[in-house]
Structure 1
Amino acid sequence: MERQQSRMERWQVPMGCAMRCALTFGLVAYRMGDGYAPLALGAVAASGQGGGGLWALVGLVLGAMLWMDFATALPCVAVGILFYCMVSALGDFKWMAKTLPLPMMSMATFFAVNGIYLIQSLSPNVAWGLCLCATAVVGVTVGLLRPILDGDNPSFSPHSLLYLGICLCLAGSVLTVSGLSVGRMFLGALVLYTACQRGCSHGGTVGLLSGLLADLIAQSGGLVFSAAYGLGGMAGGYLVAYGRIVAGLGYSVAVFFAALTLSQGSGAVVALEALGAMALYWCIPQRLLGGKRVQPPVSAQTNATVERLRSQLNKTATALRDLYESMARNTMAVQEENPSVVFDRATEQVCRSCTICTQCWQKDYATTHNAFNDATPFLLERGRVLAKDFSPQFSNRCIHFPQLLQTLNAELSAYLLRKQYRREIEETRRSARGQYAQLSDLLTATAAGLGSVQPAMASNKGYGVGAVLRPKDGETLCGDTIDGFETDDGTLCLLLCDGMGCGGDAQKESALMVRLLRQFLQGGITPEAALKTLHAAMALRASASGGFSTVDLLICHPDSGQATLYKCGGAPSYVKKGGVVRRITGHTLPMGMGQTATDMTQLQVEEHSFVVLLSDGISDGVEDEWLQNLLAGWEGTNPQTLANLILTHSQLHQGSSDDGAVQVLYREGVRARAV
């Protein structure tokens, strides 16, 4: 499997370059006025820097040599070379990763180069309109094809894939059979398919765009294809509720009516191509259509409730899946303990103080070792050791033989209990992993039928959060992790976790805990249920990996100030209002240490007050007078400034011998929230 995967990865880059080369070579067939190839040029710019962009440029050059004469190919190739140089020179800048810069720069370059050729021509005013249209097509092509062509990990968004299909159909429009364009037949089938899948409005929009591009290459002087495909797309999307056959017939009738009304010369050709598109659409397998897309109307409130429920189910399912995978990654096969440990521990207790220990374990070591080896099979088979299991030579020489037998039996019982416990723990861990996976699949399947998800509206915050991390001296990674987020109902959640130890291993433990808790809480699980679930899961996981984490979780409603602080083994937390400081401690153990209890404290976070969460690297709570004095005397309102100040003072009082983390919540006043 690994060899096959490495082979596929080795061929992935060459195949991607070859596909880009073939794509631009074919897209040169789409030419506006026999001089512009905007689809191919847009694909070159969208392919980015490196080998992908270079091979896209090669395809453009080969296509221009085949499809164009020298006079028209020269500016096309020149623009393609400028596109590749521009992307290679500026592609590493962060602002180039945004949506608009590359399309806008491509349009400007295309228009500047072709504008020079137009100015030098004998009649420049005639072709300016066509040049502007080609410029717009270049920008649209770069923006829509860039997610697919730029990089080794393409993003196959529906809009990009749809536009790529439109481009390929338009490039194939030069192929004709009995005067009918094969490419336009497939283009009509694509418009009809989109209309039936996405509805009337999408069908009309895609039909209008496709028809406009077809009119630009046909240069018929009108908008025949735009009107025909746009009207046909709307008709097909409207009639899909009555079946695919009726939708196809409605599309053909609409295209036929629009084409014959607007153009008597080419109207018959467009109408016949519509019949071919209808036939191609009917040939699509039913399973690819996914049934009718018309659904009964629902109220906005009901739809929002369903979407919120689906979002929460998906987030909870993701949390359970991550929990299952984390347990699977950190679970090793049960390592059976060597039975020799029974003899090692027994002889350590009996033989060490024996007067003839040197005789048995140095001079006659071979005899003693063989005696224990010969007794091992009987010991494991019977579950206890007897005097007859040892050779007479050994038993007669040993002056503490009865005591040795008694100790061996005690150690054997302990060995068998440990073996049974490990197997029971492994079985429990395996069962828990299976239950998490099954529950995740169940929630995912349940959410799949609840409709699409809409992003939640942002709420007026009315609060500020400051956070700072500091690794231990000599470490590059901090073992503490901080996170803050809002749930769908506007509840603020602040998390601070301290992983066992320092450095990378501790950071992995704390980051895993933060990620799982965030997914549970965003999925609508109550904090109590989420912490209880993770307590049990982390206890099973810790039995294999040995890791654990402390947890400080603050749940706050910014509007009312009502809050709950959950603590699992963390350092003290502090609430400050004016010059009064309240200290909150906990008595439970960290996550993964076998207990399920959690300290829970109800708070009222008043306006203009602070809540401070920190790890034991900042203050362990034993000598925190400096911290309480600092908080009591603080008169500012910036939580980030306070977090930085606490970290600075902790280095003076605590040093940097442990990872440190500080998270500060500041609840603003009513006036600040109203803004």
Structure 2
Amino acid sequence: GSLEHTAVLALVLAMALTAAAPALCFAALAVAAGGLGTAVFCPGERRSGAAVFTAGCALGALAAPNLTGVLTLGLAAGAGLLGFLLCPEQALRAVFPPPATPVGTQSLTSAARKLSGVADTLSDIAETVNAVCSCQMPPRGESYDYVVEFCAQHLCQNCARRNTCWVQGYSTAMDGLYALRGALEHNGRVELEDLPGQLSTCVHPADLCATVSHGYRLWCSRRQTRARAELLRTALTEQYSAMATALAQMAARLGRAGLPDPRREARTTQLFASLGLEPLECTVLTDLAGRVTAAVTLPRTSFTPGECRALAEEMGRICRRDFDPPEVTNCRTVTMLHFGERPLYRAVFGLASRPAPPETVSGDACRQFCDSAGRAQMLLCDGMGTGKPAAVDGQMAAKLTAQLLQAGFAAESAARLVNVALGLKNAGQESGATLDLLTLDLYTGRAGLFKAGAAPSFLCRAGVVRTLDGASLPMGVLPTVTGRSTALTLDVGDTVMMVSDGALCDGSAWLCDQLTLSTRLGQSPQQTAEAVAASAVRRSGARQDDITVAIVRLERQKS
């Protein structure tokens, strides 16, 4: 058992022996020394423990008043040790569970799981941005004086009339070269007929046109490089800022993870040991809200869905709570299981999408899922425009946002990082994607709605529809994202509907009426989404755009 258990037991036995007969004080000393020595030097080891206990008894025998006491103590200790060695190990562990993992290492499992998710997500972001930028890298880029200097160095440096043009007629030559800027910006090059009167004295007019045109192209390239460097610098600083905010939020959550429960940890360790899966780490925590979470790290093992459900039932019996099947994370050499209490509520989703004719691919992208922290996440991203270009932005924004949310990022931090990725991918082009994100706590019903350029959303409560709106700009347009957050609390039966702007071609009043009607008819979220999408297509007429309807309804968890 643990050191605390052994100390209490040794004290009780020593008091009992002394109370039975004061002459047995030496025996009380032997029991206390042997028990405590075993717990300190070799906890959980049967043979080594027996040896240490024998040494403790020998120490107690030195205090015996006579030889009879020594023999009596020896016989009693021998009989006790024989019974201890013959007793089945499972019977001993049922009474005295093995010592719990030291508190200093208990947070490693949870921290490793979270940081692993963050590392994987950031790696995906870096790979996506690098892959896109390598295909869309603009050519290189700097003031129009560069064109003048280029012409003077590469054409006029060795010309016989250099002193005449650049010393005696300096102002005339400069005015002539600056007069070519309009033709260069309009055509990208100059021809002989574009040469102004100030340059009529040039003896190499054709070479002058070619040199000025080449210098202009190099100047444009330098300007593009400078603009790109500025964009990358802005993106880098924004990314550092977003990462600092996100990691601070994660550190705060880890600091509020809760108190360890050594007894439940010991029973959890015993459960997996009995299955032949000796845990590398085991943590059972009770947070400030009273919810219990458990994390177990094992040598790499695969689990079927049925085995996960069985493990959740056994963990529920040990911790006296209802657990959902664990979240399984496989690393290179270990497997991490994370058990969370079954939430009070459950989220029922519905989704319907219609691409704008004649396109076959929708620019809208939606993700609906529940994460390991007991939160329902529903996000809708609408890429600007229609077809494949819009679909690239929409799918990229939705995928990266979902990965960041699953890794533990808050909505604002995830939006800032995705904004950086879209800004780099678009490389100054006028494109981007909106973000409509609902985060719902399934334990309390509290929700947060974050909008970045998204269309209004709708909340239906007791048959009454309320519009949720927030004016903002899409992601990928500005260096920093400007979103709006709204806090609300949902109850059983409340429904939240998100739509892309294609569903608002005929206004929003009919959407409120349709949502109210579907609620009164008792339709499921999926049926409601299909009905709203079909009505939006009929109402759009010639104003065709991608249409997506995403719905979530809060319901009581089934027992």
User: TM-score, normalised to structure 2's length?
Assistant: 0.51
Change (3 A) 1:369 1:479: farther
Aligned-partner Cα distance in 2 for 1:627–1:344: 58
The residue that corresponds to 1:613 in the other structure is 498
Following superposition, the deviation at residue 469 of structure 1 comes to 1.5
Query: 1 CA distance for matches of 2:380 and 2:185?
Result: 46
AA aligned opposite 1:420: R
Aligned counterpart for 2:123 among listed residues 321, 330, 345: 321
Preserved contact between residue 497 and residue 552 of structure 2 (Cα < 8 Å): yes
Verify the 8 A CA contact 1:573 1:613 in the aligned structure 2: yes
Q: Deviations over 1:456-487 (max 9, x none)?
A: 45735433110111112122222211111222
Question: Hey, what does 2:310 align to over in structure 1?
Answer: none
Gap runs ≥5 in structure 1: 1-237, 243-295, 382-411
Given the alignment of the two structures, is residue 312 of structure 1 paired with residue 114 of structure 2, yes or no? yes
Which residue is 1:402 aligned to? Answer: none
In the alignment, is residue 515 of structure 1 matched against residue 399 of structure 2?
A: yes
More strand by share: 2
**Preserved contact between residue 570 and residue 615 of structure 1 (Cα < 8 Å):** yes
Structure 1 contact 307–452 (Cα < 8 Å) conserved? no
What is the CA–CA distance in structure 1 between the aligned matches of 2:539 and 2:194, rounded to whole Å? 54
Report Cα offsets for 1:87-142 as digits up to 9, x if no partner.
xxxxxxxxxxxxxxxxxxxxxxxxxxxxxxxxxxxxxxxxxxxxxxxxxxxxxxxx
1:476 aligns with 2:280: no
Q: Counterpart of 1:619 in structure 2: which amino acid? A: L
Closer/same/farther in 2, CA of residues 547 and 574 from structure 1, 3 Å limit: same
Q: Partners of 1:419 and 1:521 in 2: how far apart?
A: 34
Matches of residues 69-218 of structure 1 in structure 2 within 5 Å?
none
Structure 1 partner of 2:133: 331
Preserved contact between residue 612 and residue 663 of structure 1 (Cα < 8 Å): yes
Structure-2 separation of matches of 1:349 and 1:375: 12
Q: Distance in 1 between matches of 2:181 and 2:526?
A: 56
Superposition deviation, residue 602 in structure 1: 1.0
Structure 1 residues 653 and 379: alpha-carbon distance in aligned structure 2, compared to 1, 3 A threshold: closer
RMSD: 4.8
Give a deviation string over 1:54-95, Cα, whole Å, max 9, x none.
Answer: xxxxxxxxxxxxxxxxxxxxxxxxxxxxxxxxxxxxxxxxxx
Report the counterpart of residue 307 of structure 2 in structure 1: none
1:457/1:419 Cα in 2 relative to 1: closer, same or farther (>3 Å)?
closer
Q: What CA distance in whole angstroms lies between the structure 2 residues aligned with 1:667 and 1:431?
A: 39
Deviation at 1:553, TM superposition (A): 0.6
Greater helix content: 1
1:603 aligns with 2:488: yes
Letter aligned with residue 182 of structure 2: A
Map of 1:644 onto structure 2: 530
Q: Is the 8 A contact 1:324 1:436 kept in 2?
A: no
> Percent same amino acid among aligned pairs?
23
Q: Amino acid of the residue matched to residue 316 of structure 1?
A: V
Q: Secondary structure at the match of 2:442?
A: coil
Which amino acid in the other structure matches residue 501 of structure 2? D
Corresponding residue number in structure 2 for 1:564:
448
Separation of aligned partners in 2, 1:327 and 1:315: 19
Relative to structure 1, the CA distance from residue 375 to residue 476 in structure 2 (aligned partners, 3 Å threshold; closer, same or farther) is closer
In the other structure, the counterpart of 1:166 is none
- C-alpha change, 1:432 and 1:325, in structure 2 (3 Å) is farther
Is the contact made by 1:464 and 1:666 (CA closer than 8 Å) also made in structure 2? yes
Instruction: Letter of the 2:548 partner, please give it.
Output: A
Q: Quote the offset at 1:449 in angstroms.
A: 11
- After superposition, give the CA deviation of every residue in 1:473-516 in whole Å (9 maximum; x if it has no partner): 12222221111122222011111111222233322322222221
The aligned amino acid for 2:426 is A
Aligned to 2:549: 662
Q: Contact 1:330 / 1:544 at 8 angstroms: preserved in 2? A: no
1:421 aligned to 2:227? yes
The Cα shift of 1:572 comes to 1.0
Length, aligned pairs only: 339
Q: 1:597 to 1:359 in 2, by over 3 A?
A: closer
- Structure 1 CA distance, aligned partners of 2:133 and 2:428? 6
* Equivalence for 1:373: 210
Work out which structure has the larger RCO, using CA pairs closer than 8 Å and 6 or more positions apart in sequence.
2
* Residues 335-388 of structure 1: CA deviation (Å, up to 9, x unaligned): 03698999886127899xxxx979989xx9x9866444345688899xxxxxxx
Mapping 1:580-599, distance limit 5 Å: 580-594=464-478, 595-599=480-484
Mark the CA change 1:377 to 1:517 in structure 2 (over 3 Å): closer, same or farther. closer
Name the structure 1 match of 2:156: none
Change (3 A) 1:343 1:522: farther
Deviations 1:523-568 (A, max 9, x none): 1222222222222333233226764111111011133221110011
- Consecutive unaligned residues in structure 2, runs of 5 or more: 1-43, 49-97, 149-177, 251-329
Secondary structure of 1:453 counterpart: strand
Q: How does 1:156-305 map to 2 (within 5 A)?
A: 298-299=100-101
Task: Indicate how the Cα distance of structure 1 residues 624 and 358 shifts in structure 2: closer, same or farther if over 3 A, else same.
Answer: same
Matched residue, 1:346: 182
CA distance in 2, matches of 1:434, 1:585: 30
Partner of 2:75: none
CA distance, structure 2, for counterparts of residue 554 and residue 329 of structure 1: 30
Match of 2:507 in 1: 623
Could you tell me whether the CA contact under 8 Å between 1:330 and 1:545 is conserved in 2?
A: no
Change (3 A) 1:450 1:566: farther
